[in-house]
Amino acid sequence: MFETTVAGSLPKPAWLAETNKLWPQWKASGAELDAAKADATVLALKEQEDAGIDIVSDGEQSRQHFVHGFLERIEGIDFEHKVEMGIRADRYKAMVPTVTGPLRLKGRVHATEARLARAHTKRKLKFTMPGPMTIVDTIADRHYGDKVKMAMAFAALLNEEARGLQADGVDTVQFDEPAFNVYMDEVKDWGIEALHRASEGLTCTTAVHICYGYGIKANIDWKAGLGGEWRQYEETFPALAASRIKQVSIECKNSHVPIDLIGLLKGKDILLGVIDVANDTVETPEDVVATITEAMKHVPKERIFPCTNCGMAPMRRDIAMAKLSALGAGAKLARERLA
Ligand code: ZN
């Protein structure tokens, strides 16, 4: 009951990469960088275990960014000439690579860190990858000429890697789709179909993380303009409920998403965001229990998995760790009182 997990990323140690940045530069290169990534991965697992996280991740310590970390092993993408592109419906600009030819995996993408993580924890292991819609929203195209066609091509590659991760012993494969609250019609038209393609044939647990973005300035400014109640999910939750994806990860702590909307995710496990990643105030275990108590009014308690609102990559590391401890302690308290 109330098994805890994280949305995915954790802050990187200062000896691995620049801190407090969404697109940090690595502090080493070559074999030295590979060793540093491995050390950081083992450390991230240990810190999650100590904090009381039940379903742990590699903390995304081996990738610079949650989207481009996957793209780096794909043939047909030009990384040399990055172009500026407005992403998430022009919410902010990013320098992105370009698809220039047919897409193909050069080999396994995350085998090294997945196998390392598997070897160093007995807890359930979750692995995250960007979802197809979010990928095509974060890359320029000079080859496919059609967003859906390109998304399905990426979905096929994600599926290849997801099957590999499953064979490596990963318990949950999660696709991150922050684009799902921006293009509501497209979610229903092809976004979920693309997720189905990406998760085809998997027997491990499947999850999708949807959210209003990291706590970076562009997102905070955008959220400020969305009004008092964020009802975007009202359109997409019924479609997600009908999907084959088992778990849905959403932000609830300090969120303007009306909590009753999670009732629309019938039959799904809810990875309930009880930890805000957009501010540095550390939640108390009581705060965590309060969010769980609210959620229990709308979904059966056995379907609630306390989680962080979103990735913690750009956060201060000491604060992120304190928040993880609050998550673990809060879930323990909730088990004692509510289970
Ligand atoms: Zn997120």
- Residue 226: predicted pLDDT: 77
Q: Does a structural domain hold residue 19?
A: no
pLDDT of residue 63 exceeding 80: yes
Ligand 1 centroid–CA 177 distance in Å is: 8
Q: Does a structural domain hold residue 9?
A: no
Q: Does a structural domain hold residue 21?
A: no
Q: Does a structural domain hold residue 5?
A: no
Ligand 1 centroid–CA 75 distance in Å is: 27
Q: Does a structural domain hold residue 158?
A: yes
Ligand 1 centroid–CA 207 distance in Å is: 13
Q: Does a structural domain hold residue 10?
A: no
Q: What is the pLDDT of residues 302-315, one digit of tens each?
A: 999 999 999 999 99
Helix axes 192-199, 147-167, angle to 10 degrees: 30
- Residue 311: predicted pLDDT: 94
Question: Contact at 8 Å (CB) between 208 and 175?
Answer: yes
Residue 187 DSSP code: I
Residue 191's domain is classified under what CATH number? 3.20.20.210
CA 73/CA 92 separation, integer angstroms:
25
Ligand 1 centroid–CA 312 distance in Å is: 9
Question: Contact at 8 Å (CB) between 44 and 53?
Answer: no
Ligand 1 centroid–CA 31 distance in Å is: 31
Domain boundaries, position 213 = 30-338
pLDDT of residue 339 exceeding 90: no
- Residue 157: predicted pLDDT: 98
- Residue 215: predicted pLDDT: 66
Question: What pTM value is reported for the model?
Answer: 0.95
Q: What is the pLDDT of residues 145-169, one digit of tens each?
A: 999 999 999 999 999 999 999 999 9
Structural domain count of the chain? 1
- Compare 283 and 65 and report the one with higher pLDDT: 283
pLDDT of residue 279 exceeding 80: yes
Ligand 1 centroid–CA 92 distance in Å is: 16
Please compute the mean of the pLDDT values over residues 5-25 and round it to a whole number: 93
Ligand 1 centroid–CA 9 distance in Å is: 9
Question: Contact at 8 Å (CB) between 326 and 285?
Answer: yes
Ligand 1 centroid–CA 67 distance in Å is: 12
Q: Does a structural domain hold residue 23?
A: no
Q: Does a structural domain hold residue 14?
A: no
Please compute the mean of the pLDDT values over residues 215-243 and round it to a whole number: 84
Mean pLDDT, the chain, integer: 94
pLDDT of residue 9 exceeding 90: yes
